[in-house]
Amino acid sequence: YLDAHAHLRDDAGHRQVVRNGSLPQRTILTGIGPVEVQQPRVRDRRRADQRQKFTSAILPPYLRKTKSIEELIPWLYLKGVSTGDFSEALAALLGPDAKGLSANTITRLKAVWQQEYEAWSKRSLVGRHYVYVWADGVHFNIRLEEDRQCILVLMGATADGHKELIALSDGFRESEQSWKALLLDCHARGMTTAPALAVGDGALGFWKALRQVFPTTREQRCWVHKTANVLDKLPKAQQPKAKAMLHDIWQAESRAAAERAFDLFVATYQAKYAKAVDCLIKDREELLVFYDFPALHWAHVRTTNPIESTFATVRLRTTKTKGSGSRSACLTMVFKLMESASKKWRLLNGSPLLAKVIAGVQFADGVEQTNAA
């Protein structure tokens, strides 16, 4: 800073911007522990209307913790360190002299996170085009309430193949009204283009709501949920074989092969285990819709795994801390954990093919169909 202003001199040739001692020493908490620093002070001798105030970009005023420490605090909390254990955990990492980091820090952070969630949930979705969406309702324990909380989750894949969290809301998993409110809110905020395909569990109230808000969106039932539901209606001794037969359906290379595997499952279990078969066949068409989309996308659209894999981390954190204390705290926690997880989300396989899906190009057994001349 002094060198940049070295050319400024008075009539006698004296420099106008000079060093003027140092500011009082202060302690900065860094990733290697507390560090004592002393910042130089600058004096500007020019007229009042010409003077500039020096502010260090490296050492801003009131800085007490480096960026790495600011990021460490929420990371520790979100990864499962309870509020009461914070001081001990930080002392172990940074030494006994770690100051200004306590349970109160987390209390303040949670208030900030709540504001961030509220702002995020009201953000504009104008211009956002989600080609595929995944929906699910995930339950959590709330320490201070008897009933478990269900958080409705909607994720989407953009036209360039990036996965995004679209919406999070408190609601009821099987409630059409809860899902309709979520979808209408997204629509009102600018999500007006209907997704090409939606993926979710058949038990969700999401489907009735989807048909009202985005009637042209096609429906794909999640094979992970369906497999679990079918196996639940079979004796344990039958489950390994049945699971392999179900796997043969959704892993088939063509719809025709999947249909044959489907018929074989029905023929094998219809007589003795009608409930299991009925559970499967009621969604027969919706279970095989993925064959009408690019084969490179099948791994993404046959299940709600984009949501399930992310929530494995969320559940781990809430299990360690025996659940959040309130419904709003749980919702905020889930938002921050998914925000953190989203940094590691990968592009969809075959992302360039999304443009063809948007354009309405037809696919059969995952292969683009071209009209004969």
pLDDT tens for 73-114 read 665 665 566 666 666 666 655 566 555 555 566 677 778 888
Please indicate, yes or no, whether residues 162 and 264 belong to a single structural domain of this protein.
yes
Please indicate, yes or no, whether residues 180 and 224 belong to a single structural domain of this protein.
yes
CB–CB of 132/199 below 8 Å?
A: yes
Confidence (pLDDT) at 131: 98
Q: Does residue 365 lie in a domain region?
A: no
Residue 32 banded pLDDT, cuts 50, 70, 90: very low
Q: Could you tell me which of 113, 112, 62, 108 has the C-alpha nearest to residue 86? A: 108
Confidence (pLDDT) at 338: 84
Q: Does residue 183 lie in a domain region?
A: yes
Q: Does residue 77 lie in a domain region?
A: yes
pLDDT digits (tens, 9 = 90+) for 295-320: 999 999 999 998 888 777 666 655 55
Please indicate, yes or no, whether residues 144 and 268 belong to a single structural domain of this protein.
yes
Residue 27 banded pLDDT, cuts 50, 70, 90: low
Confidence (pLDDT) at 86: 60
Please indicate, yes or no, whether residues 76 and 142 belong to a single structural domain of this protein.
no
Please indicate, yes or no, whether residues 31 and 143 belong to a single structural domain of this protein.
no
Torsion sign, CA atoms 321, 323, 326, 331: positive
Confidence (pLDDT) at 30: 54
Residue 249 banded pLDDT, cuts 50, 70, 90: very high
Least confident stretch, 51-65, 90-104, 324-338: 90-104
Q: Does residue 363 lie in a domain region?
A: no
Residue 38 banded pLDDT, cuts 50, 70, 90: confident
Q: Does residue 371 lie in a domain region?
A: no
Tokens 């819709």 map to which residue? Answer: 289
| DSSP E strand stretches across 38-116 | 40-44
Please indicate, yes or no, whether residues 112 and 229 belong to a single structural domain of this protein.
no
Q: Which residue has the higher pLDDT, 226 or 139?
A: 226
Confidence (pLDDT) at 266: 98
- Which domain covers residue 5, as residue numbers? 1-64
Q: What is the mean pLDDT of the chain?
A: 84
CB–CB of 183/356 below 8 Å?
A: no
Pick from 120, 136, 156: which residue ends a domain?
Answer: 120
Percent of the chain with pLDDT over 70: 76
Please indicate, yes or no, whether residues 242 and 264 belong to a single structural domain of this protein.
yes
Confidence (pLDDT) at 373: 42
Please indicate, yes or no, whether residues 316 and 301 belong to a single structural domain of this protein.
yes
Q: Which residues, at least 6 apart from 38, have a Cβ–Cβ distance to it below 8 Å? A: 22, 23, 24, 25, 26
Tokens of 350: 């075959």
Q: Does residue 373 lie in a domain region?
A: no
Confidence (pLDDT) at 233: 97
Q: Does residue 224 lie in a domain region?
A: yes
Please indicate, yes or no, whether residues 307 and 318 belong to a single structural domain of this protein.
yes
Task: Tally the residues of the chain.
Answer: 373
| Burial class of residue 133, CB neighbours in 10 A (0-12, 13-18, 19+) | buried
Residue 69 has pLDDT above 70, yes or no: no
Please indicate, yes or no, whether residues 150 and 250 belong to a single structural domain of this protein.
yes
Residue 333 banded pLDDT, cuts 50, 70, 90: confident
Distance in angstroms between the alpha carbons of the first and the last residue of the chain: 71
Total of domains in the chain? 3
Confidence (pLDDT) at 79: 59
Q: Which residue has the higher pLDDT, 264 or 328?
A: 264
Pick from 27, 47, 64: which residue ends a domain?
Answer: 64
Please indicate, yes or no, whether residues 115 and 220 belong to a single structural domain of this protein.
no
Q: Could you tell me which of 102, 171, 163, 101 has the C-alpha nearest to residue 136? A: 171
Please indicate, yes or no, whether residues 31 and 148 belong to a single structural domain of this protein.
no
Confidence (pLDDT) at 93: 55
CB–CB of 304/135 below 8 Å?
A: yes
How far apart (Å, rounded) are the C-alpha atoms in residues 321 and 79? 10
Q: Which residue has the higher pLDDT, 324 or 193?
A: 193
Phi first, then psi, for residue 177 (nearest 5°) are -65, -40
Percent of the chain with pLDDT over 90: 51
pTM, to two decimals? 0.76
Phi first, then psi, for residue 282 (nearest 5°) are -65, -20
How far apart (Å, rounded) are the C-alpha atoms in residues 194 and 199? 14
Q: Does residue 368 lie in a domain region?
A: no
